[in-house]
Structure 1
């Protein structure tokens, strides 16, 4: 992890991520994260206010970073994510979920966020639970419980039918 990636690197990463996002939900989460971090490299857990995230909560997940070996354990999943995935992943590790395990686009997004300690954004096409083709637009945002190291990732996902992309 590049704990000293610096303000300029964070600002560049925010601009790059914002340029990859088209969803109002993922943009709003990135803006909230940027405000919450203040003058720090990442927001601390206590600066992410649930009342400001309320409209976004169905689309959010919080993952705990496990470093040895690298994995990501879901601490919280929003109700829209639970419906979209067909189950609640709270308490489950990404390595235990076939479409999120090592080598998948989602795993790469998480591992890049954990390693670089910088915001990331990505899209991935997939077949939904009803057989419809969709695009999942994802923003992955590092944050810290102690202010010293990134130990959690805040994920925002929006699911868009391919015709709208």
Structure 2
């Protein structure tokens, strides 16, 4: 498997990753104060910023783009993962962000979810980038989520469709080596639930 940038097809994810690499300079990662969302107006509807707390609840949305809120059907800003997700969806989301916040990695992955009983099922790619104000503790995760495709079927059909149980596509690299390390592929069984940002 090649470097992470080689795996990222979406131009918005690539632009955000380019910014992150450039903004960090000689540091392991940039800080939250380096990033002004208004400097990225084309990305803003699909951007999110999540605050990291060392004690539970670990993750709270500081900012969530309007397009993500519309897809969710409710505002995400100010809410914790515990407020928003449950079951397998909560575990998957918590694991991906914990990988970034507590293991100092960048995560790029695909998710497949049904967000409500209308069975609108969507495929998203999501890029998670760590940021640290003091250069040591990761206190913020910057990310973007892009919808790849979606379709409508009734809930019962989706619930019994083997494809819904497909495996996630997950790639991670150590933040310190993001510009040169080969990406590591991880796999997790698929799940059903509300779509996370």
Task: Report the TM range for the smaller structure's normalisation.
Answer: 0.7 to 0.9
What is the alpha-carbon root mean square deviation over aligned residues? 2.3
1:94 touches 1:101 (CA, 8 Å); kept in 2?
no
Matched, 1:151 2:139: yes
1:86 aligns with 2:73: yes
Aligned to 2:101: 114
Question: C-alpha offsets along residues 62-91 of structure 1, whole Å, 9 cap, x if unaligned?
Answer: 111111135201111111111011111111
From the CA coordinates, give the structure whose radius of gyration is larger: 2
> What secondary structure does 1:112 align onto?
helix
CA shift at 1:101, angstroms?
5.7
Asked if the contact 2:64/2:76 (under 8 Å) is kept, the reply is: yes
The number of residues matched between the two structures is: 148
TM-score w.r.t. structure 1 length? 0.79
Q: Secondary structure at the match of 2:113?
A: strand
- Unpaired segments ≥5 residues, structure 2: 152-197
Give the Cα–Cα distance (whole angstroms) in 1 for the partners of residues 107 and 18 of structure 2: 13
State the alpha-carbon separation in 2 of the partners of residues 22 and 87 from structure 1. Answer: 28
Residue 57 (structure 1) aligns with: 44
What is the SS of the residue equivalent to 1:148? Answer: coil
Higher percent of residues as helix: 1
> Is residue 132–residue 161 contact of structure 1 (8 Å, CA) maintained in 2?
no
Partner of 2:84: 97
Checking the alignment, whether the CA contact within 8 Å between 1:21 and 1:27 is kept in structure 2 is yes
5+ residue gaps, structure 1: 1-13
- Find the residue that maps to 2:40 and give its secondary structure: helix
Instruction: Kindly indicate whether the alpha-carbon contact (under 8 Å) linking 1:145 and 1:151 is maintained by their aligned counterparts in 2.
Output: yes
